[in-house]
Structure 1
Amino acid sequence: MRAFIALELPADFADDTAAAARRLSASLEGRFLDRSTYHLTLAFLGDIDDAEASRAMDALDVACAGSAPVSLAPDGLGKFGRPADATLWLGVAPDPALQALAERVREELTARDVPFDPKPFRPHITLGRRVRIPKKPLPPLAFPLPAHARTVTLFKSTLSRDGAEYKPLYTVELGEPAEMPTSTPN
């Protein structure tokens, strides 16, 4: 099975991302993805068997133990590929906790001999594929407000002519964020 591990996006963040993608799709040619497919990949596993999937679930349990929700803050648009045939994405600022979570997930996968794509972690949410990006400026966009992601999931990805369909196989909830210190009046 084709699989990956990703942070699921909070509902409001995903809704606002979808609104930005709709605005872009009105002026750009390409195949824009459905809101239901939005996620932030921590590790792409590729084709794995059932035993590797089971070990990936164990890796998630260990990697996420004691982790607080991680911050998602939009960091502009980017692309992979050529402007005439690009994958368009919304970048997410490389928050230290987000970076550390991705690193722990990858370390635990390695420790359990679960294969994954070793490309450097670049936090982003794919908005569209085969997008033609013009040389002229893009329309003004309202990016999502920063939010906290609380759910890490191992997904099965099934490819079809209509695009990918993602099925959650195993989910781990991240703990509550640390409370902010409050000042006490003197």
Structure 2
Amino acid sequence: MRTFIAIDPPEAFIDETADLARYLKTRIDGRFIAREAYHVTLAFLGDADQRQIASAMDAIDAVADRVSPTLSPGGLGVFGKPKDCTLYLELQKDPSLLTLCKGLREELESRDVPFDSKPFLPHVTLARRAHVPDGNLAGIPFPNACRADRVVLFKSVLTPEGASYSPLYERELG
């Protein structure tokens, strides 16, 4: 089962991120992500078996009470070339957010749960196959900073329309 662990942002943050996406959609061509799919990936596990899923739940339990990180927008970013990229809302590297990610990854490692070990870049994906124009995008309505309150182990199913995510396990933070 394809899985990942992520922060599920509070509803107000999702609403404001959806407002940002609507604004960008009038200026940028691309396949914009549904608001239901907004998340901040902490660890991508990939295909996990039942033992690894249970161990991932234990890892979440081990770190969930430690911190309640702040999600603070830091700007827009892209993966890939500006004419065909993934557009994202970058989040500032709040110390408690970094602590949560590091602690979670250490707990996963100690339980022999494999995950993608790429460096953590906190972000929310906004669009894929985006064509970002040259120049400045003035007046961008970035979301307000907020406290993250929930971490979730998600199941990810890839379809021709894009990925769909279903929660398998969740815990409150802080």
- Smaller-chain TM-score bracket: over 0.9
So what's the TM-score if we normalise by structure 2? 0.97
C-alpha displacement of 1:27: 1.5
The aligned counterpart of 1:56 is 56
Query: How far, CA to CA, are the matches of 1:142 and 1:57 in structure 2?
Result: 36
Unaligned stretches of 5+ residues in structure 2: none
Q: Which amino acid aligns with 1:91?
A: E
Is 1:21 aligned with 2:21? yes
Query: How far, CA to CA, are the matches of 1:89 and 1:78 in structure 2?
Result: 5
Preserved CA contact (<8 Å) 1:24 1:139: no
C-alpha displacement of 1:169: 0.3
Q: Which runs of 4+ in 1 moved over 4 A?
A: none
Question: If you compute each CA radius of gyration, which structure gives the higher value, 1 or 2?
Answer: 1
So what's the TM-score if we normalise by structure 1? 0.91
Structure 2 counterparts to residues 109-148 of structure 1, below 5 A: 109-148=108-147
Unaligned stretches of 5+ residues in structure 1: 176-186
Preserved CA contact (<8 Å) 2:67 2:100: no
C-alpha displacement of 1:138: 2.3
Once superposed, what is the RMSD of the aligned Cα atoms?
0.9
The aligned counterpart of 1:181 is none
The aligned counterpart of 2:85 is 86
Query: How far, CA to CA, are the matches of 1:29 and 1:96 in structure 2?
Result: 34
Preserved CA contact (<8 Å) 1:13 1:144: yes
Q: Secondary structure at the match of 1:110?
A: helix
Query: How far, CA to CA, are the matches of 2:67 and 2:59 in structure 1?
Result: 17
C-alpha displacement of 1:107: 0.3
Query: How far, CA to CA, are the matches of 1:167 and 1:26 in structure 2?
Result: 29
Query: How far, CA to CA, are the matches of 1:83 and 1:2 in structure 2?
Result: 29
Preserved CA contact (<8 Å) 1:23 1:139: no
The aligned counterpart of 1:67 is 66
C-alpha displacement of 1:86: 0.5
C-alpha displacement of 1:48: 1.0
Is 1:38 aligned with 2:46? no
The aligned counterpart of 1:7 is 7
The aligned counterpart of 1:178 is none
The C-alpha deviation readout for 1:119-173, integer Å capped at 9, x for no partner, is: 0001000000010111132242111111001100000000001111100000011
Structure 2 counterparts to residues 156-171 of structure 1, below 5 A: 156-171=155-170
Q: Secondary structure at the match of 2:63?
A: helix
Q: Secondary structure at the match of 1:62?
A: helix
The aligned counterpart of 1:179 is none
The total of aligned residue pairs comes to 174
Query: How far, CA to CA, are the matches of 2:67 and 2:134 in structure 1?
Result: 41
